[in-house]
Amino acid sequence: MITALLLFWPALAALLVLLIKGEGAKKVAFIATLVEFAIALFATVNFVPDATTQFAIDMPWVERAGIGFSIGMDGISLLMVLLTTFLVPLIVLSSFKHDYKNPHVFYALVLFMQTGLIGVFVAMDAFLFYFFWEVALIPIYFIAAIWGGARRIPVTFKFFVYTIFGSLFMLAAFVYLYFQTAGTELAAHSSNVSAFYQLTMDSATQSWIFWFLFLAFAIKMPVFPFHTWQPDTYTESPTQATMLLAGIMLKMGIYGVIRWLLPVVPLGVSQWADTVLVLSIIGIIYGSIIAIRQHDLKRLIAYSSIAHVGLIAAGIFTLNEQGLQGGMIQMLSHGINVVGLFFIIDIIFRRTNTREIANLGGITQTTPALSIVFLILLMGSVALPLTNGFIGEFLLLSGVFQYNYYFGAVAGMTIILGAVYMLRMFQGVMFGTKSEATEGFADLTFHEKAVLIPLVIMVFWIGLFPNTFLSISEPAVGQLLSIINR
């Protein structure tokens, strides 16, 4: 029941918001997302930390075909749901000072997208998963394409076609897998996740299924070399859309790998894990080096995102517990840090009208609060001990080291390179002498603090007490590994 509530409440709220013309829309949307967060917290409190799928609902959807409306949450899903429900209110709040035209449509789309995102994370049926996977895409496309920057139309269009192209392959793979499943007395086949986990196929079949599924997830994450849509889309989208994309939507791809790729085609994974790790590690180095060369703040964070996701992808494909658990915690950390950083860039952009590092500088002189918050989020990104990034990257890197010593050594470069581009950015933007643009730069306002302080708290919480979150997903990850290694 609680899962259904989580799933449908935002959609319902979206309809409600659609009716409210004008400024009231954002307030209603904010309250609705807070309610959603409260529901998620309620679920967390009632969650029994074991490997079972809880709060499950299983109803027939296309009964004759064995396709079910099956939703539920295990530890992995719950962490993703928590991340989504925690970030969306902050994303809505961060838009309060923006004057988007047709605000009711904007916030309705955001809420509608939340339904899609939650759906992806709680779906326990392959076709339901695919369904929500696409449902999440449509609103974000419109948000980015309607309220985006000057080059928004071609850029978002590329993003849209690219991701749909990948997901169609996923659909084809799901259909194939579905026909391999054993059915019940009611239907000849089943698309439930448990039926998929029981499949045994020869390694040649698993090999091509692996690529069909991986293509879809790799485009979404994005893993090098499927990342070409990402920097442009992040740059051209309005800040809230970028936050949604980088903070949450990117995790759909990683979650997809964990839930629908690793346990379903383990033989395919073991054949191609080396290839994926090499691609991911290339992505880490490539993203970092390009990030160092960026002049535009948003593009810089976009490329840094490729590097971070590369490390997560490398970690989860090692198929050991450190790697997977590190991936889980790093998804949370990356979501929190990247949303915070994009918001700070948005704050700087709105006050100075520029995102060029060369045009900025000297902001620290007048803004103690902003400087501290910026630095904390940045350190989280760089993976300084005590911050959230450290826990994730440490676990991930130790997972990669266990898998292959050389891979670990190269992937470890991310920490050094990350420090280079992040600190270089901080130096250029915050230190130095004041420029024309940053003259009279005002410190954080109340509502900006209201967005950033929860994020900062989370940076330290995960950094100091990661077990709060690790313990939620641990049994589920353990079970997943036992399915993979059976």
Partner 1 sequence: MISIILLSGFGIINLFVGFLKSKRILLPLSLLFLAIVFGINLLDWNDTQSYFNNMITIDNYAVAFTGIMVLSTLLVLPFTQHYITRNDENIGELYALILFSLVGAIMMVSYNNMLMLFIGIEILSIAMYVLAGSDKRSLRSAEAALKYFLMGSFFTGVMLFGIVMVYGATGTFNIAEIAGSAETIGNGGVNNVMFMLGVLVIIIGISFKISAAPFHFWTPDVYEGSPTVWTAYMSTVVKTAGVAAFYKLMDAAFAASYPGWMPTMVAIIVLSLLIGNVGAVVQQSMKRMLAYSSISHAGYLLMTLLAFNEFSTSAVLFYSFAYSLASIAAFGVLQLVAKQRGSENYEAFNGLGKTNPLLAFAVTVAMLSLAGIPLTAGFFGKFFVFSALIEQPNMMWLIVVAVILAAVGIYYYFRVVIAMYLHPVTEGHTAIKSTSFINVMLIIITALTILLGIAPALLSGVL
| DSSP per residue, 139-170 | HHHHHHHHH--TTHHHHHHHHHHHHHHHHHHH
The CA–CA distances, whole Å, from 469 to 81, 88, 316, 472 equal 12, 19, 17, 5
**Structure-block tokens of residue 409:** 């050594």
Q: Rounding to the nearest 10 degrees, give the CA dihedral for residues 70, 73, 76, 79.
A: 130
Instruction: Return the residue of 38, 161, 442, 453 that touches partner 1, per CB under 8 A.
Output: 161
Q: Taking the complex as a whole, how short is the minimal distance between the CB of residue 191 and partner 1, in angstroms?
A: 10
User: Cβ contacts of residue 437 below 8 Å, gap of 6+?
Assistant: 352, 353, 354, 359, 360
Nearest-angstrom CA–CA distance, 119 and 134: 10
Nearest-angstrom CA–CA distance, 24 and 162: 35
Residue 364 CB-half CA count within 13 A: 13
Q: Which is nearer to partner 1, 188 or 457 (CB)?
A: 188
Instruction: Return the residue of 107, 121, 142, 469 that touches partner 1, per CB under 8 A.
Output: 142
Length of the chain, in residues: 486
Is residue 72 a contact partner of residue 6, using CB atoms and an 8 Å limit? Answer: no
Instruction: Return the residue of 76, 140, 146, 248 that touches partner 1, per CB under 8 A.
Output: 146
Q: Taking the complex as a whole, how short is the minimal distance between the CB of residue 321 and partner 1, in angstroms?
A: 34
Q: Taking the complex as a whole, how short is the minimal distance between the CB of residue 116 and partner 1, in angstroms?
A: 9
Q: Which is nearer to partner 1, 187 or 450 (CB)?
A: 187
Q: Taking the complex as a whole, how short is the minimal distance between the CB of residue 249 and partner 1, in angstroms?
A: 16
Q: Taking the complex as a whole, how short is the minimal distance between the CB of residue 101 and partner 1, in angstroms?
A: 10
Q: Which is nearer to partner 1, 208 or 431 (CB)?
A: 208
Instruction: Return the residue of 26, 104, 152, 251 that touches partner 1, per CB under 8 A.
Output: 152
Instruction: Return the residue of 134, 296, 356, 443 that touches partner 1, per CB under 8 A.
Output: 134
Q: How many residues bind partner 1 (CB under 8 A)?
A: 33
With residue 420 as reference, give the H or E element that holds it: helix 413-430
Instruction: Return the residue of 18, 168, 289, 483 that touches partner 1, per CB under 8 A.
Output: 168
Backbone phi, then psi, for 10, in 5-degree steps?
Answer: -60, -40
Q: Taking the complex as a whole, how short is the minimal distance between the CB of residue 160 and partner 1, in angstroms?
A: 7
Q: Taking the complex as a whole, how short is the minimal distance between the CB of residue 141 and partner 1, in angstroms?
A: 9
Q: Which is nearer to partner 1, 25 or 373 (CB)?
A: 25
Backbone phi, then psi, for 66, in 5-degree steps?
Answer: 75, 20
Is residue 277 a contact partner of residue 245, using CB atoms and an 8 Å limit? Answer: no
Q: Taking the complex as a whole, how short is the minimal distance between the CB of residue 165 and partner 1, in angstroms?
A: 4
Nearest-angstrom CA–CA distance, 122 and 53: 10
User: What residues between 92 and 121 interact with partner 1 by CB under 8 A?
Assistant: none
Instruction: Return the residue of 145, 218, 291, 307 that touches partner 1, per CB under 8 A.
Output: 145
User: What residues between 172 and 231 interact with partner 1 by CB under 8 A?
Assistant: 172, 175-176, 178-179, 188
Q: Taking the complex as a whole, how short is the minimal distance between the CB of residue 172 and partner 1, in angstroms?
A: 5
Q: Taking the complex as a whole, how short is the minimal distance between the CB of residue 27 and partner 1, in angstroms?
A: 23
Instruction: Return the residue of 47, 157, 349, 460 that touches partner 1, per CB under 8 A.
Output: 157
User: What residues between 241 and 300 interact with partner 1 by CB under 8 A?
Assistant: none
Q: Which is nearer to partner 1, 115 or 387 (CB)?
A: 115
Nearest-angstrom CA–CA distance, 456 and 344: 12
Q: Which of 339, 332, 277, 273 is nearest to 473 (CA)?
A: 332
Is residue 236 a contact partner of residue 151, using CB atoms and an 8 Å limit? Answer: yes
Nearest-angstrom CA–CA distance, 294 and 299: 7
> Which residue(s) pair with 58 in the sheet?
70
Instruction: Return the residue of 131, 196, 197, 229 that touches partner 1, per CB under 8 A.
Output: 131
User: What residues between 10 and 69 interact with partner 1 by CB under 8 A?
Assistant: 60-65
Instruction: Return the residue of 160, 260, 343, 469 that touches partner 1, per CB under 8 A.
Output: 160
Q: Which is nearer to partner 1, 205 or 354 (CB)?
A: 205
Instruction: Return the residue of 171, 372, 375, 413 that touches partner 1, per CB under 8 A.
Output: 171
Terminal C-alpha separation, the chain: 32
- Return residues touching partner 1 (CB under 8 A): 60-65, 127, 130-135, 138, 142, 145-146, 152-153, 157, 160-161, 164-165, 168-169, 171-172, 175-176, 178-179, 188
